[in-house]
Every structure is written in C-alpha cells, then in structure tokens.
Amino acid sequence: DIQMTQSPSTLSASAGDRVTITCRASQNIGSWLVWYQQKPGKAPNLLIYKVSTLQNGVPSRFSGSGSGTEFTLTISSLQPDDFATYYCQQYHTDWTFGQGTKVEI
C-alpha cells in the first residue's frame, strides 16, 4: 500500500500568513495528487487535483506543487475562512489519504 504522510499534523498561524503543508508518498505517485479542505461537520471540499490544477471556484491564494514523492500545498495569505483541516490523497495505486493537517489560529 502507498502511505501518505503529511506534515505538520497541526499548524498554528495568523491571518495573512503564508502557509505550507507537505505531503510525502511512500513511493512514486507521479502527478496523481489531490488536496481537500474540510471544516468541522462538513464533507471535504476539493481544492486542487493533479498536483497543481485549481478546482473551479477555489481562490488563487491556494497553490500546489511537487512530483514523485513530495508535494506541497501553499496558501499565500491565510484568510479567516481557511482555518480548517487539509488532506492530501493519492490515486496512483488504489487510493489513500494523508492523515490531515489542521490549520488553527
């Protein structure tokens, strides 16, 4: 099984900060990397797919990069609505999620 490891598990930040979350795959997954945002009590919301393609309607402050085994999600200027938990997901072999990164105030 491909394991996805996110870091950090929790990130404390302030509005306006630049935030970076890392996702590492246990083996090469090419560009099959997706990012979601989830708020408490809600279903996850798709942010980015194929490493860096922004889903329609997602603000441009979100961006993704990486390839192979190491990937990043960057929020260029954190907004109050961005405090949430973020998950990466691979689709190279079966499907697995990272354990999540909680972005808190």
Partner 1 sequence: QVQLVQSGAEVRRPGSSVKVSCQFSGDNFSGTTIAWVRQAPGQGLQWLGRIIPIIGAGNYVQKFQGKVTINADESTRTVYMDLRSLKSDDTAVYYCATLRESGYLDYWGQGTLVTVSS
Cα separation, 49 vs 31, in Å, equals 9
Strands 70-75 and 62-67, sheet pairing: antiparallel
Nearest approach, Cβ of residue 16 and partner 1 (Å): 28
Which residue, 20, 2, 27, 24, is CA-closest to 88?
Answer: 24
Which parts of this chain interact with partner 1 (CB under 8 A)?
1, 32, 34, 36, 43-46, 49-50, 53, 55, 87, 89-91, 94-100
Which of residues 12 and 93 has its CB atom nearest to partner 1 in the complex?
Answer: 93
Kindly report the backbone phi and psi dihedral angles of residue 46, in degrees, each rounded to the nearest multiple of 5, phi listed first: -70, 130
Contact 35, 64 (CB under 8 A): yes
Nearest approach, Cβ of residue 62 and partner 1 (Å): 14
Nearest approach, Cβ of residue 96 and partner 1 (Å): 7
Nearest approach, Cβ of residue 87 and partner 1 (Å): 6
Which of residues 18 and 39 has its CB atom nearest to partner 1 in the complex?
Answer: 39
Which of residues 16 and 42 has its CB atom nearest to partner 1 in the complex?
Answer: 42
Contact 30, 42 (CB under 8 A): no
